[in-house]
Amino acid sequence: MLIPALDLIKGQVVRLLNGNFNQQTTYHSDPVAIATEYRNAGAEYLHLVDLDGARDPSQRQFKLIGHITRSTGLPIQVGGGIRSTADLEQLFASGVQRVVIGSLAVTQPQLVRQWFNRFGPEAIVLALDVNINASGERLLATHGWQQASTTTLESCLESFLAVGCRHVLCTDISRDGTLAGSHVELYADLKQQFPTVQWQASGGVASLNDLTALKAVQCDSVILGKALLTNQFTLTEALQCWTNASSPVSM
């Protein structure tokens, strides 16, 4: 599945380079219109990042998120600094299908496991965002990618598989917002290592060739952000490419 993404600040569609708020580009002033365009082009799901809520939970854009959900009629997953049970409850009340949990999976894993048990694994997407060091370790970043941890993606994920984790959004931070190409080898390895997980690839997608390559390694979904906003290709073209791309045949 291809999942168009909209990053939101003060009701506008923006992009940050490598998660840096000081490197913001604003693309549109009407996210509802853009989300509706994506739906009309064939999108089956949307990914929203509430950057206001990430910086300050009291500024979370519940009204806008609810408006997008109702206007498009699409299932939506929302991330951005989700820190409390109340955040999840309010997002679900706004019509959100899934919440995306990042930093707390590293800093408060017991709380996140409680959410899995309460809301169910279909309601939660783990956002495991990695910096890959010279030794090849996939170290998770937290707090909007501004802090590094010593926790590896693999060790973190193992603890959540026990509570039924099914959906994981993985971003290679070095590629996010760069249009440098997707880290296909990363997702190939993760899909092979954790075949029960539905992997969402994010970061660096720049061309239809990236989509073909990700489909070939059986990546389940791809988040499309900057490539659509900067007209590298249209969503219609991307969906046609994804549909026509071949997956390897299992023997």
Would you please indicate which residues are annotated as catalytic (active-site) residues?
7, 129
- Residues ≥6 apart with Cβ < 8 Å to 147: 141
What is the b/e burial string over 190-213, where b = at least 16 CB atoms within 10 angstroms of the residue's CB? bbeebeebbbbbbbbbbbbebbeb
Terminal Cα-to-Cα distance of the chain (whole angstroms): 23
The phi and psi torsions of 60 (rounded to 5 degrees) equal -60, 140
Backbone angles phi, psi at 196, to 5 degrees: -80, -15
Please give the backbone phi and psi of residue 157, each rounded to the nearest 5 degrees, phi first.
-65, -40
For residues 75 and 96, give the distance between their C-alpha atoms in angstroms, rounded to a whole number: 7
